[in-house]
């Protein structure tokens, strides 16, 4: 239950502070009385002052402590976690040592501007992330110049700028030519129910709606997002967090917070085994409130998520051509890729520098791809690894690859794609090859450290595949 989570958080932050048996510590509740969600707060514990931010629980708003740095603090063992976790969202446990519920607070999230006019224009048919702020390992910085540390990140390049038009409850994406349901479907459905709802939808004079693929769904993601500040979705689309009633009679309420529960089904099935369980089928989803791709079980109708319907020619297939010079061009996106990674893992700063310094195939304008570009080369028909190895090679099939995109929930982290199994610290494939998560950009991690209620493995040193 949520009160157990609060007890754990406070026990970690203040060793002598213990909540009463009936719920969160009264001081933590009182600190947020009359306040708004995300407001900074403080209260006195036996050891001294505890600082945090106000986060929603079933009892109301509670002051949740802030932490710094990766930690080996534990939640429940993986074997005790519920299958699917309502779509695989990590519990409000620990994220880079930060309690997930506090990620919406001022210290770790950010108000991120859109891509600036001065960003270097690139030829691409992948909708841009729209992330316009530059960051180092700790926070916002002035955008660096070529040759300086942290040069080459997302905000410094502009791909296909998001271009939408709205009419009759339909948002048309002029880049992908897909037409989207504008409205938020507030009733969470099982995967099969969501597919059926889209197939039966009549909107704007059209009756050929369908559940989108995960690549189509990710194409409308907006990486100005930050939990509690703005969704990972353009303002032209409607989206709302579920109300607190979703936590009533929920046996796993301690792992859920409404402002993070924007999980939205895709039609894309995971070809691997959900949580390593043979025969358990799962589908990928995009969480438009916390900015991650993960997967959830579809059998039995037990997992209910949001859905958003789409119509139009299927989008997102690759059209690779080998250039014969250790590079591969995807004619579908107009991007050219490093064909094979160099087998070295790096932190985020090093990954940016590696691509800036790469000279390959007669070109020296390589860069670290943003998260939407990187996700565009995932092959969701495969899982070991989730990439078309006929054209793009991986030296380590377990590999996770950095993007140039900072994660808005915690700007000390950057986004990556799991091309190999997306594992917990216990080695369980909890989110699926092809999932998208975030890692600390640089930190000291001890053996056994993890993030979130599903015990996400922390690597920090990830592989790199450059793009131009």
CATH code for the domain of 185: 3.10.100
Is there a single domain that holds both residue 195 and residue 306?
A: yes
Residue 42 in domain: yes
Is there a single domain that holds both residue 176 and residue 295?
A: yes
DSSP 28-91: HHHTTTTPPTT-EEEEEETTEEEEEEEEEETTEEEEEE---S------S-GGGSPTTHHHHPPP
pLDDT of residue 60: 76
Is there a single domain that holds both residue 96 and residue 209?
A: no
Residue 424 in domain: no
Q: Would you give per-residue pLDDT tens digits along the chain (468 residues)?
A: 444 444 444 434 443 333 333 346 777 788 888 887 767 777 765 444 566 667 766 567 877 654 333 332 223 333 333 333 333 333 333 333 333 333 333 348 889 999 999 999 999 999 999 999 999 999 999 999 999 999 999 999 999 999 999 999 999 999 999 999 999 999 999 999 999 999 999 999 999 999 999 999 999 999 999 998 999 999 999 999 998 877 776 544 665 688 888 999 999 999 999 998 998 999 999 999 999 999 999 988 889 999 999 999 999 999 999 999 999 999 999 999 999 999 999 999 999 999 999 999 999 999 999 999 999 999 999 999 999 999 999 999 999 999 999 999 999 999 999 999 999 999 999 999 999 999 999 987 787 889 888 899 999 999 999 999
pLDDT of residue 18: 35
The CA distance from 190 to 402, in Å, is: 32
Residue 335 in domain: no
Residue 22: how many CB atoms within 10 A of its CB? 8
Is there a single domain that holds both residue 89 and residue 189?
A: no
pLDDT of residue 378: 99
Is there a single domain that holds both residue 187 and residue 283?
A: yes
Is there a single domain that holds both residue 99 and residue 170?
A: no
Is there a single domain that holds both residue 67 and residue 181?
A: no
| Boundary of a domain, candidates 311, 340, 359 | 311
pLDDT of residue 250: 56
The CA distance from 115 to 155, in Å, is: 6
| Boundary of a domain, candidates 286, 311, 336 | 311
Is there a single domain that holds both residue 174 and residue 92?
A: no
pLDDT of residue 59: 65
Asked if 168 and 192 count as a contact pair (C-beta separation under 8 A), the reply is no
Residue 53 in domain: yes
Residue 138 in domain: no
Q: Which domain holds residue 30?
A: 2-71+83-104
Is there a single domain that holds both residue 63 and residue 181?
A: no
Residue 192 in domain: yes
Is there a single domain that holds both residue 170 and residue 302?
A: yes
Is there a single domain that holds both residue 173 and residue 302?
A: yes
Backbone φ/ψ region at 341: left (φ over 0), alpha (ψ -120 to 50), beta? beta
Backbone φ/ψ region at 66: left (φ over 0), alpha (ψ -120 to 50), beta? beta
Residue 343, CA distances (Å) to 27, 267, 396 in order: 51, 33, 7
Residue 302: how many CB atoms within 10 A of its CB? 13
Count of structural domains within the chain: 2
On the CB side of 266, how many CA atoms lie within 13 Å of its CA?
26
Residue 468 in domain: no
pLDDT of residue 404: 99
Is there a single domain that holds both residue 90 and residue 168?
A: no
pLDDT of residue 254: 63
Residue 98: how many CB atoms within 10 A of its CB? 26
Residue 402 in domain: no
| Boundary of a domain, candidates 250, 278, 311 | 311
pLDDT of residue 22: 38
């Amino acid at each position: 239950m949520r009160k157990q989570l609060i007890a754990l958080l406070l026990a970690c932050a203040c060793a002598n502070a213990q909540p009463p048996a009936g719920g969160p510590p009264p001081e933590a509740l009182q600190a947020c009385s009359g306040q708004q969600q995300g407001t900074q707060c403080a209260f006195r514990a036996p050891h001294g002052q505890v600082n945090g931010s106000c986060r929603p629980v079933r009892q109301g708003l509670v002051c949740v402590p802030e932490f710094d740095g990766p930690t080996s603090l534990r939640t429940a063992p993986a074997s005790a976690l519920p299958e699917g976790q309502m779509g695989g969202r990590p519990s409000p446990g620990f994220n880079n040592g930060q309690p997930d519920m506090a990620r919406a607070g001022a210290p770790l999230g950010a108000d991120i501007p859109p891509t600036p006019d001065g960003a270097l224009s690139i030829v691409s048919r992948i909708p841009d992330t729209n992330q316009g702020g530059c960051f180092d390992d700790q926070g916002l910085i002035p955008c660096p110049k070529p040759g300086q540390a942290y040069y080459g990140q997302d905000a410094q390049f502009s791909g296909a700028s998001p271009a939408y038009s709205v009419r009759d409850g339909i948002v048309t994406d002029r880049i992908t030519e897909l037409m989207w349901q504008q409205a938020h479907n507030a009733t969470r459905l099982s995967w099969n129910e969501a597919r059926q709802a889209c197939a039966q939808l009549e909107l704007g004079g059209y009756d050929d709606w369908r559940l989108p693929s995960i690549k189509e769904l990710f194409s409308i993601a907006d990486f100005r997002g930050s939990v509690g500040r703005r969704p990972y979705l353009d303002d032209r689309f409607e989206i709302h967090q579920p109300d607190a009633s979703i936590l009533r009679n929920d046996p796993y309420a301690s792992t859920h917070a409404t402002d993070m529960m924007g999980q939205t089904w895709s039609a894309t099935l995971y070809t691997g085994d959900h949580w390593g369980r043979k025969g358990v089928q799962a589908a990928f989803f995009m969480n438009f409130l916390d900015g991650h791709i993960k997967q959830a079980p579809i059998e039995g109708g037990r997992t209910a998520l949001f859905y958003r319907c789409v119509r139009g020619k299927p989008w997102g297939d690759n059209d690779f051509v080998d250039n014969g010079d250790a590079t591969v061009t995807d004619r579908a996106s107009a991007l050219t890729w490093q064909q094979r990674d160099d087998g070295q893992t790096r932190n985020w700063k090093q990954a940016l520098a590696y691509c800036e310094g790469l000279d390959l195939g007669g070109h020296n304008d390589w860069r670290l791809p943003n998260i939407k570009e990187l996700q565009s080369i995932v092959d969701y028909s495969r899982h070991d690894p989730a990439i078309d190895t006929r054209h793009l090679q991986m030296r380590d099939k377990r590999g996770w690859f950095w993007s140039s995109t900072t994660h808005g929930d915690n700007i000390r982290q950057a986004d990556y794609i799991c091309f190999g199994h997306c594992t917990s610290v216990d080695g369980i494939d909890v989110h699926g090859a092809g999932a998208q998560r975030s890692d600390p950009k640089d930190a000291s991690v001890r053996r056994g450290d993890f993030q979130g209620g599903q015990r996400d493995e922390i690597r920090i040193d990830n592989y790199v595949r450059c793009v131009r």
